[in-house]
Amino acid sequence: MLGTLFIGQNHISLASVDSTNTFAKELLTKEHPPEGTIISATTQLKGRGQAGNTWAAEGGKNLTVSYILYPNFLEAAQQFYLNMAISLAVKDCCEEQTGGEFSIKWPNDIYYGDRKVAGILIENTISGSSIASSVVGIGLNANQEEFDENLPNPVALAEISKLDFDLNKLRDSLSTYIEKYYLQLRQKHYNFLDKAYTVSLYRYQQTHEFKKGTAIIKGEINGVTKEGKLILHSQGKEHRFAFKEVEFVI
């Protein structure tokens, strides 16, 4: 039984949908669902990722869900803290389920080693200077064994742990962790979230190659700004990059 206060307590289960995020956004134009409402789909036909990317997942084998939140306590300029909270929740869920160690590839992909196990898409609606509503989409590879060969580095929890996952129990675990970190966010524990997110970053304080346009640079990740820009130290200088301005070389 789900033991949360509100996250996941209202559940809309769909057999098939283009995108759970799109469904959630359309629902918000018609009504005001309870905070923490979760939309799940057995099959997602046109899953969406960051910056127009797609999220492909085999039906019935993975977790494809979206949560509806109302973080109106957050200023628009603080919205990256929501990204931190959700990323930490997915990471912790993966670690609990497998006993493995995961990291957050900036800004919000969840990695096991050099392989991607989950992606997050957060779409906020701004009203004035605050966030009126957020749709938090999460795609988590659970039991899928074969992936599209065009995907560079996917992995599923089943491959990591050699276990088969009950998707309902996995969804409940995810909801529990999202509530834990969302309540930290609601209580404005920004320093806690910032520190936890920073030390969880993929390749944190390690020297690696990055791609900026056509150039390859060597640098070390030292954190993120409050706006979510990546702080990279390279050749004795600090550089700050917005999403898509720099890429990891893996």
Q: What is the residue extent of each domain of the chain?
A: 11-199, 207-248
Angstrom CA distances, 50 to 1, 47, 120, 149, 183, stand at 32, 11, 8, 20, 25
Confidence of residue 150 (pLDDT cuts 50, 70, 90): confident
Q: What is the structure's pLDDT at 47?
A: 55
SS3 content of the chain, % helix, strand, coil (to 5): 30, 35, 35
For helices 167-186 and 190-199, give the axis angle rounded to 10 degrees.
130
Confidence of residue 19 (pLDDT cuts 50, 70, 90): very high
Say how far apart CA 133 and CA 117 lie, in whole Å: 26
Per-residue pLDDT of 20-69, as tens digits, reads 999 999 999 999 999 999 999 999 886 555 545 555 678 899 999 999 99
Per-residue pLDDT of 176-223, as tens digits, reads 999 999 999 999 999 999 999 999 999 999 999 999 999 999 999 999
Say how far apart CA 194 and CA 216 lie, in whole Å: 28
Say how far apart CA 99 and CA 96 lie, in whole Å: 6
Hunting for tokens 């629902």 — which residue is that?
27
Bridge partners, residue 109, by sequence: 105
Say how far apart CA 94 and CA 101 lie, in whole Å: 8
Share of the chain above pLDDT 70, in %: 96
Q: What is the structure's pLDDT at 165?
A: 98
Hunting for tokens 């560079």 — which residue is that?
152
Q: What is the structure's pLDDT at 149?
A: 85
Q: What is the structure's pLDDT at 59?
A: 85
Looking at 2.30.30, 2.20.28, 3.40.50, 2.60.40, the CATH number of the domain 207-248 comes to 2.30.30
Mean pLDDT over each residue of the chain, to the nearest integer: 94
Task: Tell me the fold of 11-199.
Answer: BirA Bifunctional Protein; domain 2 (3.30.930)
Angstrom CA distances, 38 to 64, 79, 171, 246, stand at 10, 20, 10, 33
Say how far apart CA 225 and CA 143 lie, in whole Å: 35
The answer to whether residue 224 scores a pLDDT higher than 70 is: yes
